[in-house]
Amino acid sequence: LLQGVRIPTLGSFDVVSTRIQIGNRPVTLRRPAFRVAWSLGSAHNLMDNGDLPGDKELEPLHYSKVATAARVSRRKARCCILGTTSLLSRCLGKGWNVALILRDVG
């Protein structure tokens, strides 16, 4: 079972399933989806794409797991994540086009 994750001040990531019909056979497609955090979206007039089901419980980001994977302290991992989201918000506030590329999401 795949679990979505919520990153404070950035948004939520999950995998969304969609059923389509190919010929006479139903097929389930799975794709990564992102929903921007309300605070970030409203601060910069970003549209909510509504891709994630509203009633699904998302797991909060565990800074300790990120720290272990990156081989840094939990404090450093948390500071880097919050610093990245803060930088993203400042860039959006200045009207710059930005791309946030996250490896291994979805």
Domain boundaries, the chain: 5-94
pLDDT attached to residue 1: 47
52 burial via Cβ count (<10 Å: 0-12, 13-18, 19+): buried
Residue ranges for the chain with pLDDT beneath 70: 1-3, 47-57, 102-106
Q: What is the pLDDT of residue 39?
A: 76
- Write down the pLDDT at residue 31: 76
Can you give the pTM of this predicted structure?
A: 0.61
pLDDT score, position 32 = 75
